[in-house]
């Protein structure tokens, strides 16, 4: 009996159980990996095509007839895009600062309104106190005099009929106006639109602002009448004034706050006007008459370029600056890859185990190479699909895309067509026998229980060529006739003829 330990030592131990458990699932795992690879390749190819097509379209827009008078180019518009980007950076900064200033103005305006209301209320209460208690404090020899003051003005809104007459019923702050359009500041906005969005602050002083001076004048008049007279009347007048000004403490605090807020509002309004003036000046500088950016359509085109740059970054935006020939060539190559992926995906769905990774990679590379070759075939006029545009030959990117994706999908057929075109263009004369037609070749193969594949292997040619000999689609080259006759064990005179027979002869 063989020792198990010895068997392990010489490599006879059982295989790793992990791999033994994985092996039955290997085909399914392989299919999943190939499927994921195809999905990732489809996604990557589509993304690259998106960049290339968009870059080619944007570059084509620059050369549109409507911009011919502006004399712009792809290089020039890149400078204009940088100008527009800098413009929007400055304009957004101005807009942001103006919004912040508007918010500050609104907050100060609300506080100013509160201070004004507090002034009005305190002044009303003090006036009522003076008019209702003056008889208790004004003693002879002083003569009683009513306290009167004009506490309303034309600027103040009229109070309700059943409400007590206030000193100031409404603040002098108009509500924000709504802009005529929602368009951003820039080529389509005007200074009037900018001003329409700001608060119209009316800084007219309320009448209650002078109420404290009226109270001082009221008591000064009594003191001038009294002179150095009765001490009791003088003491009572002092008590009356002290009580009145004690009630006015809130008024003076509110008046100080009102005056401070009014000054701040004037400063904020001046800052908003300065920002609007700066925006107007920036618009005039960037869109100076006679410059390309003054053209509205060209401005929109630069905005499209800027959006492309913002969305995809500088690395994708730099694609726009490539020569157009490189963009069209890249478009052709990636369309060839896309065509190969479509072909491989259909083949994978029909038979998931028919191709390996290296076979798939080779087929993708073949599609890219065929599309690349078709680009030059079209450029050389071999496909007769060039378009005449303005006295120069220019290939449409849509045509190149069609050729690329078709070449990638039908790589095998296109390579055969290329071979035929090459053989037709570069004919070689030899001293050997001429090409002849094989009569009855199909029957001879059938009688010998052979097929075209066996004939192709014996003659060292492609199966497609052997099938063409059998179907009388093409003659047999002179250097292959001896091999074919020897393969069939027939004399060449019984197999070949110089006269092309009718297809029915087969």
3-state SS, one letter per residue, for 389-415: ECCEEECCHHHHHHHHHHHHHCHHHHH
84 and 201 together in one domain: yes
More reliable by pLDDT, 408 or 492: 408
- The residue among 255, 286, 317 that closes a domain is 286
What is the rounded radius of gyration, in angstroms, for the C-alpha atoms of the chain? 48
199 and 336 together in one domain: no
376 and 406 together in one domain: yes
Task: Find the CATH number of the domain harbouring 491.
Answer: 1.10.260
247 and 335 together in one domain: no
pLDDT value of position 10:
47
Whether the full predicted model's pTM is greater than 0.75, yes or no, is: no
- Asked whether residue 299 is assigned to any structural domain, the reply reads no
pLDDT value of position 444:
84
171 and 145 together in one domain: yes
More reliable by pLDDT, 474 or 93: 93
Position 480 confidence tier, pLDDT thresholds 50, 70, 90: confident
Rounded mean pLDDT of 8-16?
50
- Asked whether residue 244 is assigned to any structural domain, the reply reads yes
- Asked whether residue 96 is assigned to any structural domain, the reply reads yes
Express each pLDDT in 261-316 by its tens digit: 989 999 999 999 999 999 999 988 888 888 888 888 888 888 888 888 888 777 76
Return the percentage of the chain with pLDDT > 70, whole number: 80
- Asked whether residue 432 is assigned to any structural domain, the reply reads no
Q: Which two tokens stand for residue 208?
A: 């209650």
Q: Which run of H or E residues covers position 496?
A: strand 496-497
Rounded mean pLDDT of 436-451?
81
Q: How many domains does the chain have?
A: 3
- The residue among 233, 256, 286 that closes a domain is 286
188 and 336 together in one domain: no
- The residue among 269, 286, 303 that closes a domain is 286
pLDDT higher than 90, residue 107: yes
250 and 171 together in one domain: yes
Residue 341 three-state SS: helix
101 and 225 together in one domain: yes
195 and 151 together in one domain: yes
**CA 482 remoteness from chain centre:** 68
pLDDT value of position 174:
37
- Asked whether residue 308 is assigned to any structural domain, the reply reads no
Domain hosting 462: range is 437-505
Position 177 confidence tier, pLDDT thresholds 50, 70, 90: very low
208 and 157 together in one domain: yes
Rounded mean pLDDT of 66-88?
80
- Asked whether residue 338 is assigned to any structural domain, the reply reads yes
Cα–Cα separations (whole angstroms), residue 242 to 40, 123, 149, 322, 382: 89, 15, 20, 87, 111
Rounded mean pLDDT of 387-397?
52
pLDDT value of position 396:
76
242 and 211 together in one domain: yes
Rounded mean pLDDT of 94-108?
94
153 and 245 together in one domain: yes
pLDDT value of position 55:
82
Mean per-residue pLDDT over the chain, rounded: 77
Position 102 confidence tier, pLDDT thresholds 50, 70, 90: very high
- Asked whether residue 296 is assigned to any structural domain, the reply reads no
Position 16 confidence tier, pLDDT thresholds 50, 70, 90: low
pLDDT value of position 242:
93
């Amino acid at each position: 009996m063989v020792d198990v330990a010895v068997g392990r030592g010489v490599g006879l131990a059982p295989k790793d159980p992990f791999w033994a458990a994985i092996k039955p699932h290997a085909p399914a795992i392989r299919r999943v990996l190939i499927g994921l690879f195809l999905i990732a390749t489809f996604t990557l190819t589509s993304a690259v095509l998106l960049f290339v097509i968009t870059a080619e379209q944007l570059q084509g827009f620059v050369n549109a007839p409507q911009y011919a008078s502006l004399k712009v180019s792809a290089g020039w518009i890149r400078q204009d895009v940088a100008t527009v980007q800098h413009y929007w950076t400055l304009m957004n900064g101005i807009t942001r600062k103006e919004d912040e200033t508007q918010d500050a103005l609104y907050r100060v305006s609300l506080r100013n309104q509160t201070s004004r209301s507090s002034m009005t209320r305190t002044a009303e209460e003090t006036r009522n106190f003076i008019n209702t208690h003056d008889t208790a404090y004004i003693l002879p020899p002083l003569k009683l005099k009513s306290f009167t003051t004009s506490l309303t003005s034309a600027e103040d809104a009229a109070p309700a009929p059943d409400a007590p007459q206030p000193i100031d019923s409404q603040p002098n702050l108009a509500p924000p106006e709504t802009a005529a359009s929602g368009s951003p500041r820039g080529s389509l906005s005007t200074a009037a639109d900018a001003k329409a969005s700001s608060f119209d602050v009316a800084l007219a002083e309320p009448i209650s602002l002078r109420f404290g001076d009226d109270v001082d004048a009221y008591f000064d008049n009594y003191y001038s009448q009294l002179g150095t007279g009765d001490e009791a009347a003088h003491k009572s007048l002092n008590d009356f004034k002290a009580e009145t000004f004690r009630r006015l403490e809130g008024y003076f605090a509110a008046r100080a706050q009102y005056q401070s807020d009014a000054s701040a509002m004037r400063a904020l309004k001046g800052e908003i006007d300065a920002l609007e003036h700066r925006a107007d000046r920036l618009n005039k500088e960037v869109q100076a008459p006679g410059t390309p950016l003054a053209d509205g359509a060209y401005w929109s085109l630069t905005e499209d370029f800027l959006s492309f740059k913002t969305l995809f970054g500088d690395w994708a935006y730099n694609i726009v600056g490539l020569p157009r020939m490189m963009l069209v060539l890249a478009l052709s190559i990636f369309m060839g890859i896309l065509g190969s992926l479509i072909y491989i995906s259909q083949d994978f769905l029909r038979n998931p185990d028919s191709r390996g990774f290296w076979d798939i990679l080779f087929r993708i590379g073949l599609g890219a190479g065929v599309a690349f070759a078709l680009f030059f075939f079209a450029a050389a006029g071999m496909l007769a699909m060039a378009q005449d545009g303005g006295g120069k030959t220019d290939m449409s990117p849509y045509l190149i895309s069609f050729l690329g994706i078709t070449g990638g999908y039908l790589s095998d057929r296109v390579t055969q067509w290329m071979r035929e075109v090459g053989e037709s263009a570069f004919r070689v004369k030899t001293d050997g026998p001429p090409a002849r037609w094989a009569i009855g070749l199909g029957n001879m193969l059938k009688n010998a229980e052979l097929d075209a594949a066996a004939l192709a292997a014996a003659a060292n040619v492609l199966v497609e060529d052997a099938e063409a000999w059998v179907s009388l689609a093409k003659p047999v080259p002179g250097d292959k006739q001896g091999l074919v006759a020897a393969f069939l064990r027939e004399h060449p005179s019984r197999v070949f003829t110089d006269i092309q027979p009718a297809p029915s002869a087969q």
